[in-house]
Structure 1
Amino acid sequence: MSVFTHLVAELGRLMEPVLAESATAAAIVLFTVLVRLALHPLSRAAFRGATPVAGCLPTLLQLPVFFVMYRAFSSPEVAGAANELLGHRLFAAPLGSRWADALGEGGPFGPQGLVFLGLFAAVGVVAAWSAVRGRRAAAAAPAVPVGPVTPVLPVAGSRGGKAVSGQGERGPRGAKGGAKGWAKGGSRGAKEGGGVGRAGVPAALSAEQQAAMRKLGGVLPLLSFGTLITAAVVPLAAGLYLLTTTAWSVAERAWLQRRKDRAVQPAGQ
């Protein structure tokens, strides 16, 4: 934790001539951006769906950083020395203060309370943006067919990509192989007689399952508003980290989705 404290303190000193007392708060935002830049390759892999684990790694790797941030602005001492970060502020609010402390120092509209209200407003805007994008993504998802899927019958007489007439020696063999491929579901029958088997068609979802998925898709985007609760109980510095990393996540996903749509659009034209 002392390494983190030293890094944030040095970044704050570099920006102190311009930002004065709020330099450490800006250093926290810059530190968060550096962390997210380091995790950007994993976020891209998660967006592409490269591996199931890739989607969890960016979040899991941020947990130790958030814990260190929380401890750094909650502990009065670091490595046996006084914690110098606790004396820094964002405008009128100390970076180690919480919403409850601000309420006791002038109420919600006092100098410290206004800083927290500004933080909550920014977190709410980011959460609303995330919820809107989540709902749009759920609405744009392709519909899954309901009910049983009609199997695709094989093309009798197809062999090696060439049509075979129904007469002569090869015709019956092609029809027989095609029927066999349809019955067994695929490649073996297609190889023997050229039939096109489609047993690998995924099972369709029932109407109840699709309704449950739609409800879940409508609720999940609202979970982003849970960041508001977290920001109200953690130190102000940790709330700044949450705001920055959440805004980065939403903007990063929007950028990746835009790049994907641009790459797919020429192919569809």
Structure 2
Amino acid sequence: MDIYSFAPVAIVLDFAYSLVSGLADLLTPLAGSLSTAAAIVAITVLVRTALIPVGRSQVRAEFTRRRLAPKLKELQQRYKKKPELLQQKTLELYTAEKASPLAGCLPTLLQAPVISTVYGLFILQGINGHPNSLLIDHVFGVQLGAPLVRFIADGAFWPGVLVYVVLLCIIATVAGLSRRAALRNAPPPAEGLPAGMQNLTGILSWMPFLTVIFAAIVPLAATLYLAVTTSWTLAERAILRHRYEKTMAT
């Protein structure tokens, strides 16, 4: 079953189509042929602006986990011969402090419907019964509905390939910087947690690189969205961490 043909999803997709088309029309005097790409960037910024409270709570949870590190160490020393009780007490501490090792997944989960909608807008020939005119829009000669694989298969490498190279390089660079920041700001692992959760920070630190792979196989419009949203995340985290560090120092 095509999920995009499901009535509620088709209605949401039709609304998104109208939103992107309307924004593109408004931006045409400024952006010209790049108006649809500019509309995608604008929508990405709007989505990320709405998610700022989520990012703030995420960084707050990060600092909470760092603050809990001494308490976790104390629990580990006290219950090191009772692993089951240590696990229970550790989880109770996280619960009491409203902190979670899984907090970093929330923004990604909240953005999943958005990226799915952008993906649908640029792969479907028709949306809710009418033709999809977004498919013919382009960025420097590359159609927004074309993934990198199809673009290469068509044999049109230059200069359009630069669009993909630039976007993928941005995403890869942001992924590397994000991983470095995540490891630098991660609290010490809690020995009382199950083995999988002990290594959760290290495992999750590699997740940004999955975005690079995903960005190479989705339509260019979705790649553009990913480049903007990952760059926003990196900058937002850096600003929020700096503010929390200043607050803690005073």
Whether TM-score is above 0.5 comes out as: yes
Residue by residue, what CA displacement relative to the aligned partner does 1:88-121 show, whole Å, maximum 9, x if unpaired? Answer: 11111100001112212336x4232221111111
- List runs of 5+ in structure 1 lacking aligned partners: 145-203
Residues 140-191 of structure 1, C-alpha deviation per residue, up to 9 Å, x if partnerless?
A: x4x58xxxxxxxxxxxxxxxxxxxxxxxxxxxxxxxxxxxxxxxxxxxxxxx
User: Mapping of 1:190-201 within 5 angstroms?
Assistant: none
Q: Measure the CA separation in 1 of the matches of 2:27 and 2:214.
A: 28
Deviation at 1:54, TM superposition (A): 6.1
Equivalent residue for 2:36, pick from 5, 8, 24: 24
Q: Partner of 1:251 in structure 2? A: 235
Aligned amino acid, residue 62 of structure 1: Q
Task: Provide the aligned C-alpha RMSD in A.
Answer: 2.4
How far apart, in 2, do the equivalents of 1:120 and 1:90 lie?
A: 15
Contact 1:43 1:55 survives alignment (8 Å): no
Supply the distance in 1 between the matched residues of 2:201 and 2:19 (Cα, whole angstroms): 40
- Runs of 5+ in structure 2 lacking a partner? 1-12, 62-97
Alignment partners' CA distance in 2, 1:243 and 1:65: 14
Distance 1:62 1:51 in 2: 21
Paired residue for 1:229, among 210, 213, 216? Answer: 213
Query: In the comparison of the two structures, how many residue pairs are matched?
Result: 198
**1:205: how far off?**
4.0
Percent sequence identity over aligned pairs: 39
Aligned to 1:120: 168
Distance across 2 between alignment mates of 1:65 and 1:51: 26
Q: Which amino acid counterpart does residue 32 of structure 1 have in structure 2?
A: T
**TM-score normalised according to structure 1 size:** 0.66
Q: Match for 2:167: what amino acid?
A: L
Cα distance per residue 1:175-211 (max 9 Å; x no partner): xxxxxxxxxxxxxxxxxxxxxxxxxxxxx849xx8xx
Take 2:200 and 2:51, find their aligned partners in 1: how far apart are those partners?
A: 28
Cα deviations by residue, 1:30-50 (Å, 9 ceiling, x for unpaired): 101101111211221222225
Kindly state the Cα deviation for residue 55 of structure 1 after the two structures are TM-superposed.
4.9
CA distance in 2, matches of 1:121, 1:54: 27
Q: Alignment partner for residue 51 of structure 2, among 39, 42, 52?
A: 39
Q: Does 1:110 align with 2:158?
A: yes
Instruction: Give 2:125's aligned residue.
Output: 76
Which of these residues, 25, 44, 62, is aligned with residue 13 of structure 1?
25
Q: Quote the residue 1:60 is aligned against.
A: 109
One-letter amino acid matched to 2:178: S
Residues 34 and 51 of structure 1: CA distance in aligned 2, closer, same or farther (over 3 Å): farther
Name the structure 1 match of 2:5.
Answer: none
Shift of 1:221: 2.4
Letter paired with 1:13: D
The 2-side partners of 1:41 and 1:137 are apart by 20
TM-score normalised by L of structure 2? 0.71
User: Which structure's residues are more often helix, by fraction?
Assistant: 2
The answer to whether the Cα contact below 8 Å between 1:127 and 1:225 also exists between their aligned partners in 2 is: yes
